[in-house]
Structure 1
Amino acid sequence: MAETREDGRRERGRRSREAILAQAVSLASVDGLDGLTLGRLAAAVGVSKSGFFAHWRDKEQLQLDAVEWAARQWVDEIVKPALLTPPGVGRVLALHEARLRFYEAKVLPGGCFFFVAQVEFDDRPGPVRERVAKALTDWLGLVERVVREAVELGELLADTDTAQLAYEIDALGEASITHSRLLGGDSGTYDRARRAVLRRLRALTTDPTLLPEG
């Protein structure tokens, strides 16, 4: 019976921690990681300030855990759905489109947690910057790997610069965030970002019929 009660407390603690981190990522997508305060998070989640200290010893650890949670969300919402598409040039496009759908669906009120975090911490040394940089490195590495698969399958030209193409795809995804936020969600920016990558891939593919028309 004692073990059952202990297991129940642990499960409630886990759910509470996850709820706090989900709210932290949501708020940080608008106000940045420095904008996270215990008072604001407590009010948003509906827990006492003292409840936070059971999970985090300081603000930096909360920020680090928020980055980890956002990285898991990115994988679940963007990477995993895209990887259901078979390897090849279609998967490259699927990865970009999954990202745009995530933004367009307004999963986060600020659009993209990582875009805000990169701007916030790009010139601030420390553990949070390192973790944000790792998230970007992991993402670019994944895009490049998917591009390389398409080259190896003969669906993209053999001399395709995989790192350059991965950079361009990521840059267009990031541009869609600022344009949609500043110019409005109905500005057509997501369609333009999709067409830009699609046309780039059609210019590099060995078989344009593998892709929709742009």
Structure 2
Amino acid sequence: MIDGRLARGERSRTAALDAAVVLATESGLEGLSFNQLAERLGVSKSGLFAHWRTKEELQLAAVDHAEARFTERVVRPALHRPRGVRRLWALHEHRLADISSGDLPGGCFFGLAQFEFVARPGPVQARLAAALERWHALLERIITEAVELGELDPGTDPQQLSFELNAHGTAAVYESRLRPASNVYEHARAAALDRLRGLSPQPHLLEA
């Protein structure tokens, strides 16, 4: 009985966080409220308080859940590709695929939340910043591996290239909501592909 209750509680918590991530891309992470979430889920607000006592706790949990989602949708599939430049390219491709999937109305939880909290110091901003640092650390590690494998020029700066690749993806988040999306994704893909091919002694590794 106890295990069953725990399992049900975890399922309801996961369902609430799934909805919270979606809602945060619609009305902002700051706009996320217990009332809004309860209405979306068709549950009582008091049931949500069993999981989170404050709005800030809910926001922090949503950030963590969004990062776990990003890992499953973008990072894990890309890591199945061979080490080096193909894995790096796969990260960009999977990120664009997730942004364009329509699963999140705003395209990307982090692209929107980081802009929203850029001038709001506190625990939520710190959690968002930490997630961004982990993303850059991953990109930089894979870039370094590609250099060591001879698939990127030895003079490649991992921090610079990581910044550029992230910038292409971030621009795709908001421009695809304001301009014809197909053009935006095409430009974000072509810009990254051209940059990686220009840095690679083995450009044939990168698919068109």
The answer for the alignment partner of 1:22 in structure 2 is: 18
Aligned match for 1:89, one of 58, 64, 85: 85
Is structure 2 residue 192 aligned with structure 1 residue 202?
no
Q: Give the letter for the 2:94 counterpart.
A: A
The answer for the alignment partner of 1:170 in structure 2 is: 166
Shift of 1:31: 1.2
Contact 1:90 1:210 in 2 (8 A): yes
Aligned match for 2:150, one of 122, 141, 154: 154
SS in structure 2 opposite 1:114? helix
**1:102-159 deviation line (CA, Å, top 9, x unaligned):** 0111121110110111011112111111000001000011111111110000110000
Q: Give ranges in structure 1 of 5+ residues lacking alignment.
A: none
The answer for the alignment partner of 2:185 in structure 1 is: 190
The answer for the alignment partner of 2:139 in structure 1 is: 143
CA distance in 2, matches of 1:190, 1:14: 36
Is structure 2 residue 169 aligned with structure 1 residue 212?
no
Q: Give the letter for the 1:91 counterpart.
A: R
Is structure 2 residue 51 aligned with structure 1 residue 55?
yes
Shift of 1:32: 1.1
Aligned match for 1:109, one of 105, 109, 116: 105
Q: Give the letter for the 2:53 counterpart.
A: R
Shift of 1:185: 2.3
Shift of 1:184: 3.2
Q: Give the letter for the 2:137 counterpart.
A: G
Q: Give ranges in structure 2 of 5+ residues lacking alignment.
A: none
Shift of 1:208: 1.6
Contact 1:30 1:116 in 2 (8 A): no
The answer for the alignment partner of 1:76 in structure 2 is: 72
CA distance in 2, matches of 1:90, 1:121: 33
Contact 1:20 1:41 in 2 (8 A): yes
Contact 1:92 1:146 in 2 (8 A): yes
Quote the RMSD (CA, aligned, Å).
Answer: 0.9
SS in structure 2 opposite 1:33? coil
The answer for the alignment partner of 2:125 in structure 1 is: 129
CA distance in 2, matches of 1:211, 1:16: 42
Aligned length: 208
Shift of 1:46: 1.4
SS in structure 1 opposite 2:87? helix
Aligned match for 1:34, one of 26, 30, 33: 30
SS in structure 2 opposite 1:34? coil
Larger radius of gyration: 1
Q: What percentage of aligned pairs have identical amino acids?
A: 52
Q: Give the letter for the 2:148 counterpart.
A: E
Aligned match for 1:13, one of 9, 14, 32: 9
SS in structure 1 opposite 2:151? coil
Shift of 1:89: 0.9
